[in-house]
Every structure is written in structure tokens, then in C-alpha cells.
Amino acid sequence: MDRLLSVWMFIGRHKYLITTLVFGVIIGFLDENSIIRRMRYTQEINTLNREIGKYRKEYEEYTKRLHELVTDPGAIERIAREKYRMKKPDEDIYVFENE
């Protein structure tokens, strides 16, 4: 009983400190909008923004290629020759590979 009374006296003397610590633990770790979750969300947002930038660059590159294919009739032939190694019936193709 004496021990319970001493704990109660300690709580009575330090009630504001204990309340502040409990509030800090709830806000920092247990709450739905805790600091830890906010830091994870910020990190995820940054990762997604980098991906958006990467895909935006790819989109611009592919848009440029598409515009080139639409406007330049020789572009289709050039791509067919370079990528797919197509040839005209009377041509020979020599492929050099760098090691």
C-alpha cells in the first residue's frame, strides 16, 4: 500500500510531464498521422516524383520519334534497316558487332 501511495504521489507531482510524454508518444508513434508515417509518405512522394520525371522524359523522347516518323518518309526505312536488319531484295547486309 505504501508503494502505491508513493507512485500516486510521483504521478501527482509530475502530472504535466507525464501528460506531455504520453501525448508525444501518441502523436509520434501511435496516431494515424504519426511522424513516422509522415516521413514514409514524404519518401514515397519523392520516389514517385522521380519516376514521374523519368516517364516524362521517355514520353518526350517517344513523341519526338513519332513526330519524326510522321514527317520524314525515310525515317521508317532507316529504322527498319538499323533495328530489324531489313534489306531490299538486291542488297547484302554485313553486321559488325563490338565486343
* Residue 71: alpha-carbon gap to chain centroid: 35
Which helix (H) or strand (E) segment holds residue 20: the answer is helix 15-25
Identify which of 32-36, 47-51, 82-86, 90-94 has the greatest average pLDDT. Answer: 47-51
Give 62-85 pLDDT, tens digit per residue.
999 899 888 887 888 888 777 887
* Phi (first) and psi of residue 96, to 5 degrees: -110, 125
Query: pTM of this prediction?
Result: 0.55
**36, 29 contact by CB (below 8 A):** yes
Q: Which residue has the higher pLDDT, 90 or 16?
A: 16
The residue type found at 46 is N
- The domain ranges of the chain are 1-31, 33-86
Alpha helices in the chain (DSSP H): 2-13, 15-25, 35-71, 73-84
Give 15-31 pLDDT, tens digit per residue.
999 999 998 888 888 87
